[in-house]
Structures are given as structure tokens and as C-alpha cells.
Amino acid sequence: MRKAEVPTETEVLSTCNTCRLIPVSHLGLDIGEPLGGFRSMFDRNGIEVVEDDIGRPSISRDDLGRLLTERREREAALVADAARRAAELEAKRPVLVGVPAREGATPYESMLAATGIVTPDQEFGRREPPRFLEEQLEAGAKALAEKRAQTREQNKQRAADKLKKDLQ
């Protein structure tokens, strides 16, 4: 996009007042409508709203130029502020320190080879692995074996009682 050439003083004087007005309805193309609306922005900035030759509310080109300049400055300040904050966050970020990798070693082996590393076995002593599952399985197997033995005894007793009854 190229900038339009700046008109000379004689060209500006020859431009009619109607041509120097920008309808408020066209401002949305260059400036996003503020939350309070254009009218409140005009009141806040002391911009006079006049009607153009066909009765549309309009503002002067000079006022629009001032609003665009203010907007560019505000956006530039926001970008600079965001860059400053990003730089501050970057400066505050901690330096990550890791364990150097050793060639041919797994990550676990590299960690153990680093200085100052103590394994849980070294720190707390060797301990028995948890046996909860094995204990539950053993208890279940024992209960099942007892139930089978009890059922066998009952079956033997029934068979013996039936034999006695048949023999009588």
C-alpha cells in the first residue's frame, strides 16, 4: 500500500468543506467502534459532529487524522509494553539444570552416574517389595483349599452314611 501524496496548500484551499467531512458511518472501516459508541468518543475528544451535504453526521478529515494518529500511538505503546513484559518474564525464568547424558547409557544410568545422586536403596536401605497381592492370593488359595477339604470330608461322610444305610 502506498501513501497518498500530501496536497499542497492551494489544493487544500480549493477542496470544498463538504469534501473535507467524513461520515460517522464510515469510521468503522478505519477505527473500531468504541464500547461507548462514537458519540461518547467525540465528546471525550472535543470533536464537533456536523451534518454533511446530504444530512449524514460527519467529522472533519483533520479530526479523523488526529484520531488515527492517537490510535497508532496507543497501539505502539501496547506493543512496547508487551515486549517489555515478555523481556521481564524471560529474565525471571529460572535456568533449567539437568543431568548430562552419557553416551551408551540409559537416562536412569546417566542420573545414577551424576554426582550427588543417591538411590532410594542407598538412602533408605534395601526393603522388601510390597506383598499385598501375593498375600491376598495366598489367603484366597488357602481358603479355597480349606473349602475343598471340607467338601471332601462332607462327601466322604455322606458316602459312608449311604453305605451304612444300604447295608442295613
pLDDT at 8: 60
Same domain, 14 and 85: yes
Domains: count for the chain = 2
Average pLDDT in the chain: 82
Same domain, 146 and 72: no
In the chain the first and final C-alpha atoms are separated, in Å, by 121
Q: Is the pLDDT of residue 1 over 50?
A: no
Q: Is the pLDDT of residue 152 over 90?
A: yes
For residue 42, is it within any domain? yes
Q: Is the pLDDT of residue 148 over 70?
A: yes
For residue 124, is it within any domain? no
Distances in Å between the alpha carbon of 105 and those of 14, 101, 112, 123, 162? Answer: 84, 8, 10, 23, 73
Q: Is the pLDDT of residue 165 over 90?
A: no
How many C-beta atoms surround the C-beta of residue 20 within 10 A? 15
pLDDT at 7: 55
Choose the final residue of a domain: 33, 67, 91.
Answer: 91
For residue 106, is it within any domain? no
Q: Is the pLDDT of residue 96 over 70?
A: no
pTM of the model: 0.45
SS3 31: coil
Same domain, 80 and 21: yes
Choose the final residue of a domain: 54, 71, 91.
Answer: 91
CA 62, chain centre distance (Å): 43
Same domain, 85 and 13: yes
Over residues 26-78, the pLDDT tens digits come to: 888 877 788 888 888 888 888 888 888 888 888 888 888 888 898 899 999 99
For residue 110, is it within any domain? no
For residue 143, is it within any domain? yes
For residue 162, is it within any domain? yes
For residue 129, is it within any domain? no
Residues of the chain with pLDDT > 90, as a percent, come to: 25
If you write DSSP's letter for every residue of 48-107 in order, what string do you get? PPEE-TTS-EEEEHHHHHHHHHHHHHHHHHHHHHHHHHHHHHHHHSPPP--PPP-TT--H
SS3 21: strand
Same domain, 23 and 85: yes
Choose the final residue of a domain: 61, 91, 121.
Answer: 91
Phi first, then psi: what are they for 119, rounded to 5°? -75, 160
For residue 55, is it within any domain? yes
- Domain range spanning residue 156? 137-168
